[in-house]
Amino acid sequence: MRKLSLVAAAAAAFVAVPAMAQDMNTTDTTTAAPAPADTATAPDGTRAFGIEPYVAIMGGWEQFDRQTVAGIPAQPKGYNLDGALVEGIVGFNVPLGPVFVGAEGAVAKGVSGDIDWQYGAYGRAGFRAGESGLFYGKVGYRWNNFHNFAPGVAGDLKRDYHATVYGVGAEVGPKDIGLGGLTGNSGLRLRMEVSTFDNAHSFRPMAGVVAHF
């Protein structure tokens, strides 16, 4: 009887060992190796390279120096060419990993003061911050047209006064509240920007909303 029991135990072990090995092989074959990480991504995990168009609406103010600036006649005390503005912008960004470059065109309309129209073209370059922030510098060229000048100041009222523009700015649109990243995700960002006309002869703070596609 004892011999029969030993034979039965040996037979059970003989059957169990191959079955266990088969289970282990099955487990190993079903475990896939992790896919290699994609290194060509922006900080928010979106595709790092591409073209992103956008439109924006901005509002702000520009104050010019009282001296002659880019041909603009100096204004006597009591007169100025400053005013509030509403500006429309169309542009695009080209992401390059953690940095970006881009270009935009803008048209602004004066809503108070003596500024009538402004229009210009600009290049931008900057870097990513956090999940969806942008910090940038810009340079371009702007034309200014005014309603009028102070009495006794010579000049063609229809003339456009133009010069180089420099500026810095930031865009903020946290991804975790539903706003998209720089590439591949549409969304809104808040933009804040300060620029100057003709070698720091004006001060132009602006703020608004940018819609990215």
pLDDT tens string 128-150:
877 677 899 999 999 998 887 66
- On whether the CB atoms of residues 170 and 135 are closer than 8 A, the answer is yes
Residue 68 lies in a domain: yes
Q: Are 62 and 158 in the same domain? A: yes
CATH label of the domain that carries residue 100: 2.40.160.20
pLDDT at residue 52, rounded to an integer = 85
Residue 41 lies in a domain: no
pTM of the shown model: 0.72
Q: Are 81 and 155 in the same domain? A: yes
pLDDT tens string 61-97:
999 987 778 878 777 766 778 899 999 999 999 888 8
Q: Are 27 and 56 in the same domain? A: no
Q: Are 122 and 197 in the same domain? A: yes
Q: Are 119 and 57 in the same domain? A: yes
Q: Are 57 and 150 in the same domain? A: yes
- Distance, in Å, from the CA atom of 99 to the CA atom of 42, rounded to the nearest integer, reads 9
DSSP secondary structure string, 125-149? EEEEETTTEEEEEEEEEEEEEES--
Residue 114 vs residues 13, 57, 85, 139: alpha-carbon distances, Å: 98, 21, 10, 24
Domain count of the chain?
2
For residue 25, the SS3 value is: helix
- Distance, in Å, from the CA atom of 86 to the CA atom of 181, rounded to the nearest integer, reads 26
Q: Are 113 and 178 in the same domain? A: yes
Q: Are 86 and 17 in the same domain? A: no
Nearest to 123 by CA among 107, 137, 142, 113: 137
- Distance, in Å, from the CA atom of 75 to the CA atom of 67, rounded to the nearest integer, reads 7
| Residue 72 CB burial class (10 angstroms; 0-12, 13-18, ≥19) | buried
pLDDT tens string 69-78:
887 877 776 6
User: Taking the CA atoms of the chain, what radius of gyration do you get in angstroms?
Assistant: 32
Q: Note down the domain range covering 16.
A: 1-32
Q: Are 24 and 62 in the same domain? A: no
Residue 80 lies in a domain: yes
